[in-house]
């Protein structure tokens, strides 16, 4: 296997939303788009007091892509105009395909607003190819015990497998999310001295974001809140642990298509964006009232 080299490190910028601590590596000053990865918001970590107002993401629309939300700490209440509702607790994940369009809300559940507690949540946006942008919306919310757990490097690392297949020592592990495109997604934790070799198809773009701790790739030290952009040559990623660390690790085919974004809409042309805005204003995405 040939390990991919680091092309560039992108530092997450601090961009708080009210009192919600937020870091954003993508898009940022040094990168607009990492095909097909569109956007990542890293909220927290922080501690909410009792009787707080919680997360501020009331009803808002999306079209043309998917959102993946990782609840590392705390809890998240989801509802949308396609009649999906859930409360996902710490360690869980929700995967939403906006497709042709829907309105959704992501707020803190009533119990969290009343009692407070620790919160750390990440949301990743993944672009859809042109032929799937107007697909029917769908949603899957999974608790921590519904995800697939894989031991790595004889216990020095651990993978929570969300989507895609992972082969190890003659066994194939399969993530529970059925994706529209061949997307691999996981949360990985490693300890000091660990060494991981993670396979990646050569035509896939890697998404690797360091949430906590420090790692080494290609003899380069990488600190928290950094997105790693890799060279395209190579069929694996080699990661060394220089302490306890947590990272998002995924890969997906490059779409190699025009991309036009406008707030919560991501399409292929400006005309399609204008149509999305018109459809939303006309009520074609459905309605939703936040709790």
Q: Which H or E run includes 111?
A: helix 110-115
Q: Per the annotation, does 62 bind a ligand?
A: yes
Phi, psi of 232 (to 5 degrees): -85, -15
Tokens for 251, please give them. Answer: 């890969």
Q: Per the annotation, does 43 bind a ligand?
A: no
- DSSP code for 17: B
Q: Per the annotation, does 106 bind a ligand?
A: yes
Phi, psi of 272 (to 5 degrees): -70, -35
Q: Per the annotation, does 104 bind a ligand?
A: yes
Phi, psi of 219 (to 5 degrees): 60, 15
CB 211 within 8 A of CB 231: no
**What are 182's strand-pairing partners?**
none
Proportion of the chain in helix, strand, coil states, percent, rounded to 5 = 10, 55, 35
Phi, psi of 290 (to 5 degrees): -70, 150
Q: What is the largest CA-CA distance in the chain?
A: 56
Residue stretches of the annotated binding site: 60, 62, 104, 106
* Annotated binding residues for Fe cation: 60, 62, 104, 106
């Amino acid at each position: 296997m040939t390990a991919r080299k680091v092309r560039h490190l992108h530092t997450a910028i601090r961009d708080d939303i009210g009192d919600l601590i937020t870091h954003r590596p993508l898009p940022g000053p040094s990168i607009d788009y990492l095909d097909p990865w569109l956007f990542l918001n890293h909220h927290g970590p922080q501690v909410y007091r009792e009787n707080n107002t919680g997360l501020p993401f009331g009803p808002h629309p999306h079209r043309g892509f998917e959102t993946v939300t990782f609840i590392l700490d705390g809890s998240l209440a989801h509802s949308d105009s396609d009649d999906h509702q859930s409360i996902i607790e710490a360690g869980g994940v929700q995967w939403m395909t906006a497709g042709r369009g829907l309105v959704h809300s992501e707020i803190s559940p009533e119990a969290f607003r009343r009692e407070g507690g620790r919160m750390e949540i990440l949301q990743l946006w993944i672009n859809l190819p042109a032929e799937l942008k107007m697909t029917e919306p769908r949603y899957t919310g999974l608790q921590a015990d519904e995800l697939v757990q894989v031991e790595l490097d004889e216990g020095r690392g651990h993978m929570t497998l969300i989507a895609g297949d992972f082969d190890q020592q003659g066994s194939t592990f399969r993530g529970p999310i059925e994706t529209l495109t061949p997307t691999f997604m996981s949360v990985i934790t490693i300890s000091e001295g660990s060494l991981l070799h993670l396979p990646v198809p050569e035509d896939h773009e890697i998404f690797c974001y360091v949430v906590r701790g420090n790692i080494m790739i290609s003899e380069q030290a990488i600190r928290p809140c950094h997105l790693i952009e890799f060279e395209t040559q190579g069929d694996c990623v080699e990661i060394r642990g220089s302490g306890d660390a947590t990272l998002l690790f995924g890969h997906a085919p490059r779409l190699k298509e025009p991309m036009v974004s406008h707030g919560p809409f991501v399409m292929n042309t400006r005309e399609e964006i204008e149509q999305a805005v018109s459809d939303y204003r006309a009520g074609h995405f459905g309605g939703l009232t936040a709790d």
